[in-house]
Structure 1
Amino acid sequence: MTAQSVQAVVLAAGEGTRIRPLSASLPKPMLPVADRPLAAHAADAAVQAGADELLLVVGYEADAVREYFGDEYAGIPVSYAVQETQAGTADAVRAARDQLDGPFAVLNGDNLYDPDAIAELFDSGPAVGAFRVEDPSNYGVLSTEGGVVTDIVEKPADPPTNLANTGAYLFPDEAREWLDVPESERGEREITDVLARTVAEYDVSAVELDRWLDVGRPWELLEANEWKIDELDREIRGEVHETADLRGPVVVEEGASVDAGVVIEGPALVRAGASVGPNAYVRGATLLGEDAKVGHGVEVKNSVLMPGATVGHLSYVGDSVLGRNVNFGAGTNVANLRHDDEPVKLTVKGERVSTGRRKFGVVVGDDAKTGINVSLNVGTKLSPGVGVPPGETVTRDR
C-alpha cells in the first residue's frame, strides 16, 4: 500500500477507431476482457496499488462507463470528468484537473498493466511505467540513468533505448499546473509533454513492468483475453450435465449451463446466462459472454463471444471476436489460417496491417448475421448489423 494519498485518473474517453467495428456503439475501454471490461483491469491495478479515489475521464459513449463503475468501485469512491472532444491525453487529464488534489496517477483505460509494478509506481514518487519492446520506434522511448528518467522522445526513427513508455504515471501535485501543453504535430495535447516537464523538475523513476499490453486493435483484444483468462482458477457454479467433460481451468458462472456431450478444454470462461451444447467443443482461451449461445456440433477455439452472441449449429469459430448479439447461421465456418502460413492481415483505418498472428479469424460487429452455410475468410470484418445471405463466401470486409 502506498504511503501517500493518491487519486488515480483512468482515461476512458476514447472511441477506439482502430478497433472498429467492435467500438461502433461501445467505448473501447468497456470491451470485455475475461470477467470485466478492459478499463476495470486498470482500475483494479490502481485500487490494489493503494489509490483512494478513482477519477474516470469519459467522453465517447460515456453512459456505458458510468453504468458499470457507478459512484463506488472496489470499495473506493468514483468520480467522473468529461473530455468533450478527443484532443489528446494531456487534454483528457486536464478535464479532471479541478477534481485533483495532491499527487495523482494516470493510467490508460485501454491498457493491461502488471499490478505489482503499478504498486511500485505508486511507491516511487514521481514515476513512469516502462516496458522493454522489440521495436521501440512505435512508442514514446525513455532514456534512463540509474533508474531515473533523463529523456523521452516520441516514436523516434533511431530509438536511443528499447524502453517504451506504458502510459502509467505518478505525477506530483504541481503537475496539475502543467497540463496546458501546446498541440503536437498530431494535433493533440500529449501527456508526454507533461512528463518531460516533470523530468526537468524532479527525479522521475522508471518502473519496469514485467508485462504490459496496449489494446488498440482487434487482435490485441484477443491477446488481452488470452492473458486474463489464463489467470483464472477452475470454478463450476453453473449447471453442468453429467456427461460433459470440463478439463483444466474452466469457469462456469452461476446461471450458465453446459449440456450433454460438451467438451471444454480450459482456460475458458462461460459467463452467467451463457449456454453450451449439446455436443459442442470449446477450447483455447475462450470467453463466452453473458447470454451467449454455443449450440449443437459447434466448435469454438480461442475466441471472444460478446454478450448475446449466438453460434447455434454445426459451425466453427476460431481466433475470432464476435460482437454483441451476433448470430451465425447453421454451417457458418471461419477460416483462421492462411495457406501460405504468413501472418494474417486485417484492415485498420483503411490500411491492411499484419496481426503478427499465424492464426486469426474474423471480427464481427454487433447485431451482424450470417445465413446458413456461409464461409468467412481469414482477416475479414463484418460491420454492425450486416447480413450475409446463405451460401456465400466472404473474402473482403463488409
Structure 2
Amino acid sequence: MYGVVLAAGRGTRMRPLTDRRPKPLLPVGNRSLLEQVFEAAREVVDEFVVVTGYRGDAIRESIGESYRDRPVHYVEQAEALGTAHAVAQAEPVVDDDFLVLNGDVVVDASLPRALAAAGAPAIAATEVEDPRAYGVLSTAADGSLADIVEKPDDPPTNLANVGCYAFEPEVFEYIDRTPESERGEYEITTTIDLLLGDGRRIDVARYDGTWLDVGRPWELLEANELALAELDAGDGATGATDAIAGTVEEGVHLHGPVVVEDGARLRSGVYVEGPALIREGADVGPNAYIRGSTVVGPGVHVGHSVEVKNSVLMADASVGHLSYVGDSVVGRGVNFGAGTNVANLRHDDENVRLTVKGERVDTGRRKLGVIAGDGAKTGINTSLNAGVKLGAGETTGPGEVLTRDRT
C-alpha cells in the first residue's frame, strides 16, 4: 500500500515560521511534521509519495529517497488547485491501493491502521462536540458513508471528516470527472460524491485518537506539547542513563522526562524540569533553567542564567544570557541579545490574540509569547510583548519595547 502525503501548501497562516521553509518541515519533538506523519503510517505503508509545491526542493533535501527503509517518491503540484488535484499528481507513481494523509496534521498510528483495515475506498471520521466547522458525515444502516455536508448549520451527526482517505487507483478516473468548486478548486469530497453517485460503497473508519491540524503558530506549540508528553511513555526519558547520551556536567539537576541527545552539553548549574528534549549539538548554561514542554533544537545555544519555559527553539538559535523566553516559537538561526525578555501573559487575564492573515485571532491560550521567524535578531535588553510576531530576518534595537508585529 502507498501513502500519499499532501505537502504542497504555502502555510500562510503559519507565517513568519514558513517564510523560509515549507510548513511540513517545522519541528515537532525530534522529527519534522512530515516525518511524524511517516512514522504514524509506516506500519501499514510500503512506499510514500509526497506531493510537494511551495519550497518542494527543501522537502526533497531534508527527507531524501527513503524514510526508515520505506521508499519516498516525490511529485509536484505546481499550482494549488485543491485536494483532488493534489491527489491526482500521484497517478504516475501509484498502481495499488493508497492512503491519503496530510503533511501538516498530527495523528497517531491508529488512524492509518483503521483506514488500511477498512479497505479502499474509505474515509476517516472522528466524533467532535461541535461539528459545524467541519465536513460532517452521515452513515447508512450498514455503517458505510451516506453523505458529506460541509460546515452545516444543523449537523446531521457529530462525525467530522478527518481529511484522510483510502482509495483504489480507479479513483483517478473519478478525479478526472470532478468539477471545479465555487472556490475554483477541485475537492476530493466532490470526488467522493461522484463515487457515491455511482453506487460505490465507502467505508467509514472510526478514529478517536490525536487529531491536530497544525495550521497556526500556537498549534505548533500544542503539537510539541503532545510529542513531549510521550517521552515518559517509551523513550527511557525519566532521567535514566539511556536517555542521557550527551554531556551532563556535575551540578546539573534533571527532573521528570528529559532527553539529552548525543553531542548536547548541559553545563554546571543547569536545572531542567521535563518534559524536555535537548537535541544534538545544543549547549545550555551554565546556570540556565529549562522547564515545561520545551525543545532545545540542534545546535541551539542557551546562555548563562537564561530561563526557557514551554517553548520551541529551532536549530542554531541563540538566547543570550539573562533572558527569559516563555510559551514561544523561536525560528532557525534567531539570535536573542542578552537581557531579551518575552512577555507571555496579558494583564487583563484574557486570552492572548495573534494576527493571522491580517486578522486578530483569539488563540485560546492564556499564555503565549513571541513567534520569531528564521534569522530574526533582538538587541540587548529588548522586551517583546505577548502575542508579537517578529518576522524572518527582522531586528530590534538595544532596549527596544516591541508591542506590535514587525514582519
Q: Is the 1:149–1:206 contact (alpha carbons within 8 Å) kept by the matching residues of 2?
A: no
Partner of residue 187, structure 2 = 190
Q: Within 2, Cα distance between the matches of 1:147 and 1:377?
A: 51
The answer to whether the 8 A contact 2:7-2:50 is kept is yes
Q: Which residue of 1 aligns with 2:154?
A: 158
Tell me the SS of whatever aligns to 1:97.
Answer: coil
For residues 24 and 158 of structure 1, what CA distance do their matches in structure 2 show? 38
Are residue 322 (structure 1) and residue 322 (structure 2) matched?
no
| Coordinate RMSD, CA, aligned | 1.3
Aligned to 1:124: 118
Q: Partner of 2:333: helix, strand, or coil?
A: coil
Distance in 1 separating the partners of 2:342 and 2:336: 10
Within 5 Å, which residues of 2 pair with 1:113-152? Answer: 113-125=107-119, 126-145=121-140, 146-152=142-148
* Aligned-partner Cα distance in 1 for 2:276–2:303: 16
Give me the whole-angstrom Cα distance separating, in 2, the residues matched to 1:32 and 1:295.
Answer: 22
Would you say the 8 A contact 1:147–1:206 is kept in 2? no
Once the two structures are superposed, what CA deviation does each residue of 1:348-395 show, in whole Å capped at 9, x if it has no partner? Answer: 000001111111111011111111111111111011111101111111
Contact 2:4 2:50 in 1 (8 A): yes
Mapping 1:90-105, distance limit 5 Å: 90-105=84-99
What is the CA-CA distance between 1:116 and the residue it aligns to?
A: 1.6
1:148, CA displacement in angstroms?
Answer: 2.1
Q: CA deviation at 1:162?
A: 2.3
Aligned match for 1:22, one of 17, 27, 40: 17
SS in 1 for 2:320: strand
What's 2:240 paired with? none
Point out the more displaced range, 387-396 or 143-152. Answer: 143-152
Q: Work out the CA distance in 2 between the residues paired with 1:340 and 1:147.
A: 49
- 61-70 vs 357-366, which moves further: 61-70
Q: CA 1:288/1:199 → structure 2, altered by over 3 Å: closer, same or farther? A: farther
Alignment match, 1:71:
65
Q: Which moved more, 1:122-131 or 1:176-185?
A: 176-185
Aligned to 1:239: 247
The CA deviation at 1:135 is 3.1
Determine which of 357, 363, 382 is the counterpart of 1:349: 357
Q: Of the candidates 362, 367, 374, which is equivalent to residue 359 of structure 1?
A: 367
Q: Deviations over 1:285-328 (max 9, x none)?
A: 11111111111111101100110111111111111100111111
Identical pairs, percent: 59
Q: 1:38: how far off?
A: 0.1
Aligned equivalent of 1:173, options 169, 174, 178 = 169
Q: Distance in 1 between matches of 2:256 and 2:170?
A: 50
2:162, 2:29 → 1: CA distance? 22
Match of 2:3 among 3, 8, 22: 8
- Superimposed CA distance per residue, residues 141-168 of structure 1 (whole angstroms, 9 cap, x where no aligned partner): 2222453221111222332222221111
- Residue 207 of structure 1 corresponds to 206
Taking the aligned partners of 2:137 and 2:345, their CA distance within structure 1 comes to 37
Cα distance between partner residues in 2 of 1:286 and 1:137: 34
- Between 1:163-172 and 1:6-15, the stretch displaced more is 163-172
Which residue does 1:223 correspond to in 2?
222
Structure 1 residue 396 corresponds to structure 2 residue 391: no
Q: What TM-score does the superposition give when structure 2 sets the normalisation length?
A: 0.94
Amino acid in the other structure paired with 1:343 = N
Q: Count residues in correspondence.
A: 392
Retained in 1: the 8 A contact 2:279–2:297? Answer: yes
Query: Bigger shift: 185-194 or 309-318?
Result: 185-194
Distance 1:62 1:331 in 2: 38
Indicate conservation of the 8 Å contact 2:145/2:203, yes or no.
yes
Which deviations, in whole Å up to 9, do the C-alpha atoms of 1:239-273 show, x marking residues without a partner? 01121001111111101100010011111111111
Change (3 A) 1:203 1:192: closer
Judge conservation of contact 1:317–1:333 (CA < 8 Å) in 2.
yes
Q: Within 2, Cα distance between the matches of 1:93 and 1:266? A: 40
Structure 1: gaps of 5 or more residues: 1-5
Deviation at 1:196, TM superposition (A): 2.6
Equivalent residues of 2:379, 2:399 under 8 A apart:
yes
C-alpha contact 2:317 2:334 (8 A) present in aligned 1: yes
TM-score, L = length of structure 1:
0.96
Q: Tell me: CA distance 1:395–1:149, structure 2 relative to 1, closer, same or farther (3 Å).
A: same
- Residue 71 of structure 2 aligns to a residue in which SS? strand
Aligned to 2:299: 291
Q: CA distance change for structure 1 residues 302 and 147 in 2, over 3 Å: closer, same or farther?
A: farther
Alpha-carbon distance between aligned partners in 1 of 2:259 and 2:166, rounded to the nearest angstrom: 35
